[in-house]
Each structure stands twice: as C-alpha cells, then as structure tokens.
Amino acid sequence: MDFRADAKVSARLFFRVLATGSALHFAAPASADDIKKGAALYRQMCKHCHGPEMVNPGTSSFDLSKFPRDQFDRFHRSVRKGRRSMPAMGDLLKPFEIDQLWAYVSSRGGKVEPAKKKSPRGTRAQRN
C-alpha cells in the first residue's frame, strides 16, 4: 500500500472541497436556549408576515408551521436571499441567528424537539 499516494489523493480532495465551498460540518443539536433566542428573533423579524404561531395569516407569506423539517438548507437560503415576496435577511441576520430561527421554526415553536440540520460550511449544523 502506498501511503504517499493516498495522502496526495486525500489532500487534493480536501482542497477541492475547500475551494468549492461544498464542505459540511456538523455540531450539536439545538438547545433550549437556541429555541428561546430563535423565538425572540421570530417575534422581532418574522411575526408580522408569518403570524404569531407561524401560521400564515392570509397574506402571501409561507405557512412556517408546515415548513418541512428536513430542509434546513432551503430555510437558510430563503432567509438569507429572500424568496418571492419575502425580503432577503442575509444582511440583517448572522448565520448563527438563522440557526436559532431554524431551531424555533423546526421545533414548531418549542412544541417538539427541533430538527437536526445539515448546513453549508461556516454555520453550526448537524446532519439528520
């Protein structure tokens, strides 16, 4: 077995993943504190469009009480970049704050355990 060849392949793969930004990293599941902070952010940033209980109040906003719990990447991207009538929040919220919002939304407002998440490099995450 040629360990040098294996090391070269591993190094190339590492740098290719690093260069493309497609690396994922994983962290602990959301805590009760994350859910609490996410709830505060939700009340401040999201409630007026998405409703007090994440239920669509009849406007064009998405009903977050039905957001798929296995789609953290979609949630993160939608919050950062906006979608349809939702404005982009990427300049207003830091990635860890979006994680806290996810903890709140995926826990259905603290009613169930938050979904574990897979996330782009640079944010806290854990794979389902």
Q: What is the pLDDT of residues 25-59, one digit of tens each?
A: 334 567 889 999 999 999 999 998 888 888 876 76
Q: Is the pTM of this model over 0.75?
A: no
In percent, how much of the chain has pLDDT > 70?
65
Domains of the chain are 25-128 (1.10.760.10)
Q: What is the pLDDT of residues 90-111, one digit of tens each?
A: 999 999 999 999 999 998 876 7
pLDDT tops 60 at residue 9: no
What does the pLDDT read at residue 3? 47
Whole-number mean pLDDT of the chain?
A: 74
Tell me how many degrees the CA angle 81-18-96 measures, rounded to the nearest 5.
40
Structure confidence at residue 6 as a pLDDT band (50, 70, 90) = low
How far out from the chain centre does Cα 92 lie?
15
Q: Which residue has the higher pLDDT, 117 or 21?
A: 117
Spatial neighbors of 41 by CB under 8 A, at least 6 apart, are: 93, 97, 100, 101, 104
Q: Which residue has the higher pLDDT, 2 or 95?
A: 95
What does the pLDDT read at residue 66? 85
